[in-house]
C-alpha cells in the first residue's frame, strides 16, 4: 500500500513564509504578531499547497472550510519541517513574488535617474568638501582673480592623502548605509505591502523618491567623508602659496 508523508506547517511558520522571512523563533513571533494585527483576514492555504500561504477574509474561510485550509498554531516534534526551511519552498509564495516585483519597480527608475546624476556630481561634492576642509585646516587663500575650486586645491593647497580619502569614503559609506537603511526601513521599502485601497502607482512613486533621497545621502555623504578624512591627514602641512594673483594684476 502506498503511503504519503504530510508536511505540517504551523501558523507562525506560514507567516514567515508569507512575509519572506527566515523561519526562526524571533521571526515566527514577529510575523505571527503582524498577522494578528490584521483585521477581518487570516492566513490560509489551498489543499495540497501548504507551502503557498495567502491572505483571505475570515468570513470566506469560515464559509468554505473545504477550500480554504487553516494552519495549526502548534505542531508535534514528529512533523517533517525540513522542507519549509529550504529556499525552494518559499519561491512560490505570493508575498515573495510581489515583494520582488515591487523592489524592481522601485529600484529600476531610481537607478536610471540617480546613477547619471551621481556620476557627474560626485567629484563636485568631493572637491567642495575638500576645499572647505582645506580652508579650515590650512587657512583661507588671498586671491585677486577668480579660480575654480579644483584649480585652487591643485595649485595652492597641499595634496590630500589618497589612502585616508579611500578609508574615509568606505567608512562613511558603511555608516550612512546602515543609518539610512535600517531593518524597519528595508522592510517598509522592499517587503511591506501597500495599504488596502491605496494607489499602487502613487505609493511606488513616493517610495522611489524616498529611495533616491536616501541613496543620495549615502553617496554624497561618503564623498564628503572621504574628502574630509583625506584633508585631515595632511592638516599639518603648510600652504604652497599664501596668495595668488594673475599676471595682469602684477603689472
Q: What is the pLDDT of residue 203?
A: 76
% of the chain residues with pLDDT over 90: 27
In contact, 250 and 149? CB cutoff 8 Å: no
The cell numbers describing 107, all together, are 529600484
Q: What is the pLDDT of residue 105?
A: 56
Q: What is the pLDDT of residue 16?
A: 92
> How far is residue 194's CA from residue 190's CA, in Å, rounded to a whole number?
11
In contact, 36 and 54? CB cutoff 8 Å: no
Q: What is the pLDDT of residue 5?
A: 42
Q: What tens digit of pLDDT does each residue of 4-38 get?
A: 445 578 999 999 999 999 989 899 999 999 998 88
Q: What is the pLDDT of residue 74?
A: 72
Q: What is the pLDDT of residue 249?
A: 42
Residue 216 has pLDDT above 90, yes or no: no
> How far is residue 239's CA from residue 237's CA, in Å, rounded to a whole number?
7
Q: Which of 20-24, 135-139, 140-144, 224-228 has the lowest mean pLDDT?
A: 140-144
Its sign, for the CA torsion 178, 182, 187, 190, is negative
> How far is residue 191's CA from residue 186's CA, in Å, rounded to a whole number?
7
Q: What is the pLDDT of residue 110?
A: 60
List beta partners, residue 57.
41
Q: What is the pLDDT of residue 6?
A: 52
Q: Which of 30-44, 49-63, 159-173, 208-222 has the lowest mean pLDDT?
A: 208-222
The model's confidence at residue 163, banded by pLDDT at 50, 70 and 90, is: very high
Compute the mean pLDDT over every residue in the chain, rounded to the nearest whole number. 77
Residue 98 has pLDDT above 50, yes or no: no
Q: If you search the block for the grid coordinates 579611500, which residue do you land on?
A: 166
Q: What is the pLDDT of residue 117?
A: 72
Phi and psi for 205 in degrees, rounded to 5?
-65, -45
> How far is residue 109's CA from residue 120's CA, in Å, rounded to a whole number?
18
Pairwise pLDDT comparison (74 vs 125), residue with the higher score: 125
- Per-residue burial over 196-213, b if 16 or more Cβ lie within 10 Å, else e, is eeeeeeeebeebbebbbe
* Highest mean predicted confidence (pLDDT) among 53-57, 85-89, 115-119: 53-57
> How far is residue 177's CA from residue 204's CA, in Å, rounded to a whole number?
21
CA 214 to chain centre: 8
The model's confidence at residue 104, banded by pLDDT at 50, 70 and 90, is: low
Q: If you search the block for the grid coordinates 572621504, which residue do you land on?
A: 226
Phi and psi for 52 in degrees, rounded to 5?
-125, 70
Q: What is the pLDDT of residue 95?
A: 43
Q: What is the pLDDT of residue 108?
A: 62
Amino acid at each position: 500500500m502506498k503511503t504519503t508523508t504530510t508536511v505540517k506547517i504551523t501558523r507562525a511558520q506560514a507567516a514567515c513564509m508569507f512575509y519572506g522571512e527566515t523561519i526562526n523563533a524571533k521571526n515566527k513571533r514577529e510575523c505571527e504578531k503582524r498577522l494578528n494585527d490584521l483585521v477581518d483576514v487570516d492566513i490560509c492555504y489551498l489543499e495540497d499547497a501548504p507551502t503557498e500561504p495567502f491572505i483571505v477574509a475570515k468570513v470566506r474561510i469560515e464559509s468554505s472550510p473545504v477550500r480554504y485550509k487553516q494552519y495549526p498554531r502548534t505542531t508535534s516534534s514528529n512533523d517533517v519541517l525540513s522542507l519549509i526551511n529550504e529556499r525552494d519552498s518559499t519561491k512560490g509564495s505570493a508575498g515573495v513574488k510581489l515583494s520582488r516585483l515591487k523592489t524592481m519597480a522601485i529600484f529600476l527608475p531610481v537607478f536610471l535617474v540617480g546613477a547619471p546624476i551621481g556620476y557627474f556630481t560626485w567629484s563636485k561634492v568631493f572637491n567642495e568638501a575638500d576645499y572647505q576642509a582645506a580652508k579650515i585646516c590650512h587657512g583661507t587663500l588671498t586671491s585677486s582673480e577668480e579660480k575654480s575650486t579644483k584649480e585652487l586645491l591643485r595649485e595652492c593647497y597641499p595634496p590630500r592623502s589618497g589612502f585616508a580619502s579611500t578609508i574615509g569614503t568606505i567608512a562613511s559609506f558603511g555608516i550612512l548605509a546602515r543609518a539610512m537603511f535600517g531593518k524597519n526601513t528595508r522592510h517598509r521599502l522592499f517587503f511591506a505591502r501597500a495599504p488596502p485601497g491605496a494607489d499602487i502607482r502613487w505609493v511606488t512613486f513616493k517610495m522611489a523618491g524616498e529611495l533616491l533621497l536616501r541613496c543620495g545621502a549615502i553617496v554624497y555623504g561618503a564623498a564628503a567623508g572621504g574628502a574630509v578624512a583625506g584633508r585631515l591627514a595632511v592638516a599639518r602641512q603648510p600652504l604652497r602659496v599664501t596668495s595668488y594673483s594673475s599676471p595682469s594684476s602684477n603689472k
